Structure 1
Amino acid sequence: MQDASDGNDVTEGLDPQAMSTWLKDLGIGIEPPLTFAKVGLGQSNLTYLATDAKGERLVLRRPPLGELLASAHDVAREHRILSALQGGDVPLPVVHGLCEDPAVTDVPVLVVSFVDGAVLDERADAEMLSPDARHRVGFSLVETLGHIHQVDLEEVGLTDLASHKPYGARQLRRWSRQWDLSKTHELPELERLTERLRALDPGPGEIALVHGDSHLRNVIIDPRAATVRAILDWELCTLGDPLADLGTLLAYWPQPGDPPSMRFDASMVAGFATRSELVEHYASVTGRDVSAVPFWHALGLWKLAIILEGVRRRQQDDPRNLTAVGAIPASAVDEIVVCGHRVVDGG
C-alpha cells in the first residue's frame, strides 16, 4: 500500500484510543495497542493505516476535515457498494465494518483489509516496474473496469444506487453545480468547455455500475505480474454509461505530446500503453462500441478540473486538508481545461 504521509499529525481526524477499542471489538483478531498513520497522496477522503501489536494491518477511510459539500465524500455509501461486491470478480479489499458510533468518531469511518502490493503514485514507482510490466498494467486496469461493468446490479442489490436517467446529462448538471459551489476563481474556458460537452452528449446509453474514479493511483497491483489486486476509492461510484470509466482512465493517463498539466504522470514513463491501446483493449475484452469515447474522455478532464478546484477550496478553507504534495495551484485547473478542449478538437 502507499507509504505513510510525512504530515505532523498522523492521527488528525481520528480518536486513536476510541478507534482502537472499536476495532478490537469487531472480533477480527485485532490485538492492541494499535498505531495509526495517514497514508497516500489522496486529496479527497482521508486514509489511515492501522497496525496492531502482531503487525496485522487495516485501512480506515473517513471524509476530509472541515465543511463538505452535500452528498460528497460519503464513506457509508462506499461501504454499501464494497459490501455488495464482496466475493465477485472485481478485485477488492475485504470489508470489515463501518463505524458510525458518535462516541468513537464524528463522521463515518470505513474499515477494510490491507492489500499488499504496489501503488503507482509517482514516476519513480512506475520506473521500478519492468517495461513489460508497465505495458501490462494498463491492460489489467481496463480488464478490471470490464469486470465492474459486468456486475449484475439486481443480483448484488445495487439497482437503486443512483438514477437510471441519461448519464452524460446527469454528470454535466451535477458537476456544474459542484463548480459553482467550490470555485475559487473565474474560468471562462471551463464554462465554454461545459457548453461544448452539452452539445456533444451522446444521450441515453447502457446503464452499468460505474466506478467513477478509475486511475493508476486508485489500484494496488502485483508488481511482478502487473495485475490489479484491488481497486480502491469508490466514493464516486454510481450507475451510468460504462464508457465514462474508460474516459476517466484516459483523463488521468497523460502521454508524450500532451500539453503540460498537473495530472498524475506515471503513465509518461516509457513502456506504458498509449490511450489508443487502452481503448482498443477495452473494446476487445468487452465487445462494446467505443465510438463515443472522445466525449467521455473530455468529460473526464472537465470533471478532473472541477475536482481539483474543490480540493483547492477545501485546502483554502481548512489547511488541515493539505497533504504531502502541498497546495494545488489555480494553474493546475486551467491546464486540465486546455487538455479537455484539445480532446474535443480531436487532439
Structure 2
Amino acid sequence: MASPGQDTVEERLRFDEQALARYLVSQGLPGVEGGALRVKKFGYGQSNPTYCLDAHGGQRYVLRKQPPGKLIRGAHAVDREYRVMKALGQVGYEVPVVHALCEDSKVIGTSFYVMSFVKGHIPDNGLLKLPKDRRRPAMEAIVQSLAKLHSYDPNTLGLLSGKPYGKMGGFYERQIRTMKRTSEAQVSGSDGHIPPMKRLDELIRLFEANMPPDRSCVIHGDWKPDNLILSPDGQPKVLAVVDWELSTIGHPMSDLANLCLPYHLGGLGRLVGYPALGSEEDGSAIPEEEVPLLDAQRQGFRRYLEQGHKAESHKHGVLRTSLAIVLCCSRGPDPNKQGGA
C-alpha cells in the first residue's frame, strides 16, 4: 500500500479515535494495548474512506469504513470486502491479513474493518511508470494472480452459504439486463439531459450473439493494476490485491476484460480514469512498443491457460464482447451533456 498522506482529515470523515482504540484493544490487536493510535487518511479509497493506523512497536494497520450519511442499499459493503478477503487469505491467496470487522455504528459511526498494512508499490493502470524491463514481468505476475483467483471454488471458500455473496451462472445475462435498465433509468430521471445509450439494441444483439460459455467463479470486479500491490524491487510479484468492494461471483472474463480495458480505449480512457494509451498525452505520443500489454497480453493469456482455464476463454470475439460489456456498464458521463451518468 502506498504511504499514507493526509494528517488533516475533513470534518465529515473524522471519527472518535479513542473509541476505535478501545475497540481494537478488545480485539487483541498487537501494538494498541496503550490505546494510542496515529490516524492518517490515504488519498485513495474514496468510495470507502481508508485510513492508516500507526500503533506501538512499529505495528501498522489499515482501516476501511463506510462513508458517513445515507447509503444506497448494497453499496459500500465493507462486510463483503472483509468476508472475501478472509476466505481468500485462509487458502493462501495474496490479500492483506484481516483482523476485525465491526458492524456496530456506535463505535466510529459506520461499519468498518481492519487489516494489516502491506508495504509495496502500487503501479499505474498502464504500467507506463514502471521501468521498461519490469513491465512485461509485472503484467505476467498480475495475470498469474488473476488466474489463481479464478481457480477457487466459491463453495469451497464458503461464499455460497449464509448471507448471499453472488449467484452461480447467468452473470452476463444479468449484466446486460442491468445495462438496459440503467440506461432507461438515466433517461427518465435526468429530465432529458442524458440521452438513451446509442445503438443499445444493436449492442445487446451483438452481446447475445457472442456470449461466452457460462462460467462462474469469484471475481474481483475492479481488476486493474492500481488495485494491486507489487514488490518494489527485483522480479515483480503481487504481494496483495485490495479494494474488493465490487467482488462477487461472476464470469472470469469480466476481470480479464477489465484489465485489458485501457489498451482499447485510446483517448476515451481519460473519461473513466485511465491513461490515454496509444494517443497523445501531455504533448507526446506513446509509441506502441511502450504499451506493455501488446506483448505481455499474449504471454498473459498463455499463463492464464497454464493455470487450468479453458482454451475457449480467448477465442476471437469472447474477450471483445467482455470488453464491450465492461465499457458500457461503466460508461462515464458525456462531457458535452449536463447531468451525471
TM-score using structure 1 length: 0.77
**Identity value in percent:** 27
Q: What is the letter of the counterpart of residue 220 of structure 2?
A: H
Instruction: Give the Cα separation in 1 of the matches to 2:266 and 2:111.
Output: 43
SS at match of 1:302: helix
Shift of 1:272: 4.6
Query: Contact 1:96/1:112 (CA < 8 Å) preserved in 2?
Result: yes
Shift of 1:241: 1.1
Aligned to 1:55: 58
**Structure 1, gaps ≥5 residues long:** 310-329, 338-347
Residues 110-141 of structure 1 deviation map (CA, whole Å, 9 limit, x = unaligned): 11110010112588x953x3211122212211
Query: Contact 2:63/2:114 (CA < 8 Å) preserved in 1?
Result: yes
Q: What is the letter of the counterpart of residue 132 of structure 1?
A: D
Question: Against the structure 1 CA distance between its residues 177 and 247, is the aligned structure 2 distance closer, same or farther, given a 3 Å change threshold?
Answer: same
**Residue 237 (structure 2) pairs with residue 227 (structure 1):** yes
Instruction: Give the Cα separation in 2 of the matches to 1:18 and 1:162.
Output: 34
Q: 2:204 aligns with which of 186, 195, 198?
A: 198
Aligned to 1:107: 110
Question: Against the structure 1 CA distance between its residues 260 and 296, is the aligned structure 2 distance closer, same or farther, given a 3 Å change threshold?
Answer: closer
Instruction: Give the Cα separation in 2 of the matches to 1:51 and 1:131.
Output: 34
Residues 48-72 of structure 1 deviation map (CA, whole Å, 9 limit, x = unaligned): 1111132311111112333332111
> Map of 1:1-347 to 2, 5 A cutoff?
1-6=1-6, 8-9=8-9, 12-31=13-32, 32-121=35-124, 127=129, 129-160=130-161, 161-175=165-179, 177=181, 180=185, 186-188=193-195, 191-192=197-198, 194-199=200-205, 200-201=207-208, 202=211, 205-224=214-233, 225-251=235-261, 253-254=262-263, 258-259=267-268, 261-262=270-271, 263-265=273-275, 271-274=290-293, 277-278=296-297, 281-286=300-305, 287-288=309-310, 289=312, 290-291=314-315, 292-305=318-331, 331=335
SS at match of 2:172: helix
Query: Contact 1:193/1:302 (CA < 8 Å) preserved in 2?
Result: no
Q: What is the letter of the counterpart of residue 59 of structure 1?
A: V
Q: CA RMSD in A?
A: 3.2
Question: Against the structure 1 CA distance between its residues 194 and 91, is the aligned structure 2 distance closer, same or farther, given a 3 Å change threshold?
Answer: farther
Instruction: Give the Cα separation in 2 of the matches to 1:333 and 1:50.
Output: 42
Larger radius of gyration: 2
Shift of 1:294: 0.6
Q: Segments of 4+ in structure 1 off by > 6 A?
A: 181-185, 266-270
Shift of 1:284: 4.0
Instruction: Give the Cα separation in 2 of the matches to 1:50 and 1:80.
Output: 21
Count residues in correspondence. Answer: 309
Query: Contact 1:5/1:38 (CA < 8 Å) preserved in 2?
Result: yes
Shift of 1:30: 2.4
Question: Against the structure 1 CA distance between its residues 156 and 142, is the aligned structure 2 distance closer, same or farther, given a 3 Å change threshold?
Answer: same
Q: What is the letter of the counterpart of residue 154 of structure 1?
A: N
Query: Which moved further from structure 2: 267-276 or 217-226?
Result: 267-276
Shift of 1:27: 0.8
**Structure 2, gaps ≥5 residues long:** 279-285
SS at match of 1:98: strand
Shift of 1:229: 0.5
Instruction: Give the Cα separation in 2 of the matches to 1:76 and 1:275.
Output: 37
Query: Contact 1:23/1:30 (CA < 8 Å) preserved in 2?
Result: no
Aligned to 2:283: none
Instruction: Give the Cα separation in 1 of the matches to 2:25 and 2:186.
Output: 40
Question: Against the structure 1 CA distance between its residues 192 and 66, is the aligned structure 2 distance closer, same or farther, given a 3 Å change threshold?
Answer: farther
Query: Contact 2:143/2:303 (CA < 8 Å) preserved in 1?
Result: no
